[in-house]
Chain A
Amino acid sequence: MVPIISATAVTQIYGQQVILKDINLQIAPGKIVALIGPSGAGKTTLVRAIMGMITPKAGRITVLNQKMPNRQVLGQIGYMAQTDALYETLTARENLQFFGKLQGLKQQQLNQKIAQAVAVVNLSADLNKQVKVFSGGMKRRLSLAIALVAQPQLLILDEPTVGIDPELRQQIWRALHQLAQAGKTILLTTHVMSDAAQADQILMIRAGKMIAQGTVQALEHKYQVTDLEAVFLAAGRAQDAHISND
């Protein structure tokens, strides 16, 4: 099967600092992939490179069979940023309309698609409120609805569950699983291991390097541990040992 996202030997350097080193990954359609790692590991840089916002110093990235960076491909990616990038003086509906149109939705499709997107994140009742009266969790959900609104092939979600209460988190995960079953591919970053455990595939990144990837079960089996956190620690120790051996 043709992967939705494929990265080959991606390296990114800012000045002297190596942010990403020799990253290789393949993401199959219909999968939920969690990119985990401590802050400063290079998660956001990798996401930016995949979206084509930056061109890496070396390596090749293709998304939906197109070599990145490519502006048109962005129309098929639903993106949710780490910080809520919303227009506070506009209502939730106006925010959705605006981003929907930028993603290429037609005027006549807008209302229907907006209704579908807000139903997923439970914001239907708050559509006509200005965003400035929203709580942090509501803003997070609106950001997710904006990523969903154009019903894209690929969702890239940067820390989607931060500030969302457990009940709603469950609901969002159910929605993400449904989307994946419908053939959508989802790449999300997180540092919450319980979130990562719900994903089909885990990518562990640390100090700019991919230290482990695979399903939750495969990783736990490989490192002979019982949870993801232990996998991460074990893989990190292995990385450090490898570096000191160099």
Chain B
Amino acid sequence: MRILAMIRRVLLEMVRDKRTLALMFLAPLLILTLMYFLFQSSTTEKANLAVKNVDSSLIQALNQTHVKIHRVTSNDSTKKIIRNHNYDGLLEQKNHKLTLTLANVTQTKTGMIRQSLQAAQVKLRLQTAGQTISRQQVILKQLQLMLGTRTPRDKTAQQRMVPASYQLSTHYLYGSSDSTYFNTLLPIMIGFVVFFFVFLISGVAMLKERTSGTLYRLLATPIRKIEILMGYLIGYGLFALIQTLLVVVYSIFVFKIQILGSIWAVLLVNMLTAIVALALGLLVSTFATSEFQMVQFIPIVVIPQIFFSGLIPIDQMARWLQPVAKVMPIYYSAQAVRDIIQKGANLVNIMPEVIILLVFTGIFLALNLLVFRRYRQV
């Protein structure tokens, strides 16, 4: 069995290469853990807003959980006040005119200040309206007392005049109120790290086979070209499987990621992602003559995938850019994994994505076979 010999050899070589093993198994966990902490902190972020001569009622109305207020009295120029104290914005009041100057260095903070200010103005307006209504109520009551008549109809009218206070209770289909951007990111990133490392390692392995002459030597035996490819696919596929398992289990137990659908479906899609990456890595290595050149393909082949993975919603992209996503394998795998994890999709729901990933694999393998013809024509 030539294919078994191929698999055995690939496994042996991989086991001997401890550093590559460590890279394949530990690096994805490290990257995901880093992201976990990076995207946690965003919820406690506060914007620094300086206020000058602003009515205290407005300041009180400002949402203090998102904005930290600094009262300033300095006569320096607006620009100077912001620059010297590294504020995100300065709110000044002259009579009834408010002027907001924003540093606009970090757009999220700019947004926070804007939102808080708008909310505060709405709140104030409601308060004023409420005060007016209660003043009217008092007058109304006095009038009623003077007239000495109270009809039920008046009572309902009165009730209607009380400002409505709604009780809001929120339910989440996926996640909880603690969900952060990381929860959106994780399903995409699981697929991406698997893709990245499998692509790189299989590409470099095939490159070594080519440059050391062993590929040519292999083809000087009666082995079929497809047997070489399948040996690679199954051999490295086994390591990709372990890697995928590690990443998914780690996400469940350490990040406490909630998976609405089946964990097996997640594993299946990630396995397919790994196989697409494998086939693509083998193919791309054809165009490289050294490990260094292989690394040069990362910005061309791997990085664009992340842009179209759903991190940035595809339907918000420019119309001409949207079709580009359709040629990115990651687009389909991320879509499928997100549907399984966040929407509880089952295998039937994700079948289109699964089929497309298989088609990608088929195309890449066929191209690989064509490339091998350069070494042996039968």
Q: Could you tell me which A residues sit within 8 Å of B by CB distance?
A: 51-55, 69-75, 77, 79, 81, 83-90, 94, 97-99, 101-104, 130
Contact = CB atoms under 8 A, between A and B. Distances in A.
7 contacts: A69-B376, A77-B220, A81-B220, A83-B212, A90-B13, A101-B2, A101-B4
Contacts of B13: 87, 89-90
Q: How large is the interface on B (under 10, 10 to 19, 20 to 34, 35 or more residues)?
A: 20 to 34
Contacts of B376: 52-53, 69, 71
B174 interface: no
Interface in B285-315: none
A55 B377 contact: yes
A8 to B, nearest CB: 19
A85 B1 CA distance: 21
Main secondary structure of the interface of A (DSSP, over half): loop
Q: Most A CB atoms within 10 A — which of B12, B222, B224? A: B222
Contact of A85 (B17, B214, B222, B377): B214
B12 A102 contact: no
Interface of B: 1-2, 4-5, 8-9, 12-13, 16-17, 212-214, 216-224, 375-378
A71 B214 contact: no
Given A53-B219, A102-B221, A71 B378 contact: yes
Contact of B214 (A75, A86, A94, A104): A86
Contact of A102 (B222, B375, B377): B222
Contact of A69 (B5, B217, B224, B378): B378
Given A69-B377, A69-B378, A70-B378, A94 B12 contact: yes
Given A54-B377, A102-B5, A87 B214 contact: yes
Contacts of A73: 222
A85 B213 contact: yes
Contacts of A75: 221-222
B218 A102 contact: yes
Contacts of B4: 101
Contact of A81 (B5, B216, B377): B216
B12 A90 contact: yes
A94 to B, nearest CB: 6
B220 A79 contact: yes
B222 A89 contact: no
A94 B11 CA distance: 12
A81 B9 contact: no
Contacts of B219: 53
Contacts of B378: 52, 69-71
A72 B221 CA distance: 8
A167 B212 CA distance: 28
B221 A85 contact: no
